[in-house]
A and B are shown apart, each in its own frame.
Chain A
């Protein structure tokens, strides 16, 4: 009917293409919805300096109490009484402490991934959340470091693993994957912290200009006297460029070396050449999942963040999560297939134990939350643009990846070539300590949200300067100029 009506009124046909108005683009894309810099500064500063409500202090108090009990007190007990109060035994000499170490290193991967790889490839959607992600790297690595120290039998001698000339006339044994780990994690922690700090300097300078009192002094010291001269920007940009490129191989090396801790060992189920890339993709899988959760939390709980963090960002990260989930499935199957085909009797036992052992439910749950659920939900752009839904998927993926590490470490250790020693592992004080690391991770975010600008305002402004709408014939499209 409508068609006929149009014809009678002699109007040319107009085909509706959804959402190609300028208004639509503004609403959808942060980069096309520019605000004056001053206003953006004020939004970020307000989120940071606003007097915290009683809810904030209550949250800090609760989190800090959990950290005090679960992390500080339990760790003191662990050191004072020995690893015996943890659940490790023969044959599961490694338990949840190393599960948590691998897990936290995995979480820390996505921060650098988002920030470095996306910077190198100029993926513009990264701009508002690079800082939040980089913080995840640094905070996650702190937890990984704690977990690895908890694991050690004589942690007070941990400095013996550092290379320095000493009275014992010994250097660390660089034949050992653990020594490589120490170097790689140190390198990664230092470089990701520096990489977090460099783009933060201009924002700290902005905060210095906009605050008074103790905060002014705090930011003045941290901003190091940055003014924004051409020279300073050039040096900063050069350095960030070097960092973005160099930190990518470092990040890959870290998780590959973590995987070698297992792959280099002569154990059924561990001795696998695919472990390096399998661990790297697993790290990205949990890391992206954690990134989306942190992002949703920042958007929900920090003021003014719904301007900076929008559905498009969840959409973009959702796509990455989907691809990474597929990659993880590929590597998992590859590892499984070759182990299964090999026909070694112990490996066969182990695979059977994974699937049909007392913790077989964990193996199946891992496959469901790491593969089935992400694939079922993230293919749909509406669903993956919904923050609560995509962050639920993120949490599930993290549970699944924790299960994966649990299966690789204590469950696989249960089965070895000496059947006489087979014995299940039951966690002990690892549980409060694990909760403690998770709580500290959250607490660090809660505190730092009030201390440093959560959004790299200058990077957002730079991106907004670079974005334009352009008309190709009848269609309006987004164009980006390469300012960098």
Chain B
């Protein structure tokens, strides 16, 4: 058992030709007792969780974007409302107020957007662990439209998993090896 555990912990990587068999295989694996957390689907087109019948993915991107927007707004507020009082002496231009409202709105808008978009971009990096150049479990075939399922399950026999994957139409099932991408 212990030996098996160590082999299964590497996991299996099955390649499916299409969406339908992959979705069926996900269902089959679940029936076998494989937890959803032990599977990972990789694909070359965005295949939604709903199409595969998988639990919704958690994403921090909207939250981080909101945080960035707040940061950007604060930076804008600083430039609009505080920086004008940090000069060596008060600077008067024309008869405009030190803190003129309409230009302040421009400032707040631009910096809010900048903060939000920068942090959205950053959030993709954080959530997806980019950049990541370590070896990972992957098959290049998915770039050509295949769908791969990586199963790493310790409490279900590897053989059973392999049979299920094959039954639902996997083109190939092999032990998943982390390779340099």
Report if A and B touch in the complex (beta carbons < 8 A): yes
Question: Which partner residue on chain A sits nearest B94 by CB separation?
Answer: A175
| A208 to B142 Cα, complex, angstroms | 12
Q: B117–A243 contact, CB under 8 A?
A: yes
Determine if A16 is an interface residue (Cβ-Cβ < 8 Å).
Answer: no
- Is A224 interfacial (CB-CB < 8 Å)? yes
Residue in B43, B65, B91 whose CB lies within 8 Å of A242? B65
A34-42, A90-98, A321-329, A382-390: which lies at the interface: A34-42
Among all A-B residue pairs, the 7 with the closest Cβ atoms = A37-B145, A38-B144, A225-B132, A209-B140, A224-B131, A224-B130, A238-B61
Contacts A175-B94, A253-B110 known; 11 new A-B pairs at CB < 8 A: A171-B86, A187-B110, A191-B117, A198-B124, A209-B143, A225-B130, A230-B47, A235-B60, A239-B124, A242-B120, A246-B113
Residues of B within 8 A of A483 (CB): 46, 48
In whole angstroms, how far apart are the Cα atoms of A190 and B117 in the complex?
9
Let me know if A226 is at the binding interface, CB within 8 A.
yes
Number of chain A residues whose Cβ lies closer than 8 Å to a Cβ of chain B: 62
* Residues A171 and B142 in contact, CB atoms below 8 Å apart: no
Partner-contacting stretch, out of B2-10, B27-35, B101-109, B160-168? B101-109
Most buried by A among B80, B110, B123, B144: B110
A202 to B145, alpha carbons, bound, how many Å?
12
Assuming A36-B145, A233-B43, is B86 touching A225 (CB within 8 A)? Answer: no
Is A377 interfacial (CB 8 A cutoff)? no
State whether A228 touches B42 (Cβ < 8 A): yes
Q: Is the CB of B44 within 8 A of A37?
A: yes
Residues of B contacting A465 in the complex (Cβ-Cβ under 8 angstroms) = 45
For B57, give the chain A residue with the smallest CB separation. A234
Query: Which one of B49, B54, B113 contacts A249 once the chains associate, using CB atoms below 8 Å?
Result: B113
Cβ proximity bits B37-80 to A, threshold 8 Å, 1 near / 0 not: 00011111111110010100101111001000000000000011
* A175 in contact with B93 given A180-B107, A206-B143, A238-B59 (CB within 8 Å): yes
Note all chain B residues with C-beta closer than 8 A to A238: 59, 61-62
Say yes or no for A220: interface residue by CB 8 A criterion. Answer: yes
Which B residue's beta carbon lies closest to that of A207? Answer: B143
Contacts of B43 in A (CB 8 A): 228, 233
By beta carbon, the residue of chain B nearest A460 is B45
User: Chain B nearest CB: distance from A223 CB in Å?
Assistant: 8
Q: Is the interface of A mostly helix, strand, loop or mixed?
A: helix
In the complex, the chain A residue whose C-beta lies closest to that of B39 is A230
Contact flags B82-110 to A (C-beta < 8 A → 1, else 0) = 01101110010110100010011011011
Q: Which residues between 132 and 173 of chain A lie within 8 Å of chain B, taking CB atoms? A: 163, 165, 169-171, 173
B79–chain A nearest beta-carbon distance, Å: 5
Instruction: Tell me if A415 is interfacial: C-beta within 8 Å of chain B.
Output: no
Assess A458 versus B45: contact at CB under 8 Å? Given A37-B145, A175-B96, A210-B143.
Answer: yes
For residue A195, which residues in chain B have a CB less than 8 angstroms away from its CB? 117
> Which A205-236 residues have a C-beta within 8 angstroms of B?
205-206, 208-210, 220-221, 223-236
Residues of B within 8 A of A (CB-CB), count: 63
Asked whether A257 is an interface residue with its Cβ less than 8 Å from the other chain, the reply is yes
Q: Nearest CB to that of A233 among chain B residues?
A: B46
- List residues of A whose CB falls within 8 A of some B CB: 36-38, 41, 163, 165, 169-171, 173-175, 180, 183-184, 186-187, 190-191, 194-195, 197-198, 202, 205-206, 208-210, 220-221, 223-239, 242-243, 246-247, 249-250, 253, 257, 458, 461-462, 465, 483-484
Asked whether, in the complex, the Cβ of A231 is within 8 Å of the Cβ of B127, the reply is: yes
Alpha-carbon distance A197/B111, docked complex (angstroms):
21
B144–A235 CB distance below 8 A = no
Q: Which residues of B in the span 131-148 have a Cβ within 8 Å of any Cβ on A?
A: 131-134, 136, 138, 140, 142-145
Determine the chain B residues whose CB is within 8 A of the CB of A209 once the complex forms: 140, 143, 181
Interface residues of chain B, those whose CB is within 8 Å of chain A, are 40-49, 52, 54, 57, 59-62, 65, 79-80, 83-84, 86-88, 91, 93-94, 96, 100, 103-104, 106-107, 109-111, 113-114, 116-118, 120-121, 123-125, 127-134, 136, 138, 140, 142-145, 181
Task: Look across to chain A and name the residue whose beta carbon is closest to the beta carbon of B100.
Answer: A175
11 residue pairs of the A-B complex, CB under 8 angstroms, read A36-B144, A37-B44, A169-B87, A175-B94, A191-B117, A228-B43, A229-B40, A230-B57, A239-B120, A242-B117, A253-B110
Please give, as numbers and ranges, the residues of chain B lying within 8 Å of A458 by CB-CB distance: 44-46
Instruction: Write out the residue numbers on chain A whose beta carbons fall within 8 Å of the beta carbon of B118.
Output: 190-191, 194
With A and B bound together, what is the CA distance between A143 and B144 in angstroms?
A: 37
Please measure, in the bound complex, the distance between the C-alpha atom of A223 and the C-alpha atom of B142, giving whole angstroms.
Answer: 15
A37, A186, A198, A237: the one contacting B114 at CB < 8 Å is A186
Q: Chain B contacts of A170 at CB under 8 A?
A: 87-88
Q: Is the CB of B106 within 8 A of A234?
A: no
Contact A174 B130 (CB under 8 A): no
Known A209-B143, A231-B128; contact A180-B103, beta-carbon cutoff 8 A: yes
With a CB–CB cut-off of 8 A, which chain A residues contact B80?
Answer: 174
> Does A234 lie within 8 Å of B59, measured CB to CB?
yes
Closest Cβ–Cβ distance, residue B77 to chain A (whole Å): 12
Which residue of chain A has the shortest Cβ distance to B126 in the bound complex? A235
Pairwise interchain contact B117-A247, C-beta atoms closer than 8 A: yes
* Bound-state Cα–Cα, A235 to B76, Å: 27
**B111 contacts A173, CB within 8 Å?**
no
Bound: A37/B142 CA distance, A: 10
Could you tell me the distance in whole angstroms from the C-beta of A483 to the nearest C-beta in chain B? 7
Q: Roughly how many angstroms separate A180 CA and B116 CA in the complex, as a whole number?
A: 18
Name the one of A169, A235, A246, A247 contacting B127, with C-beta atoms under 8 angstroms: A235
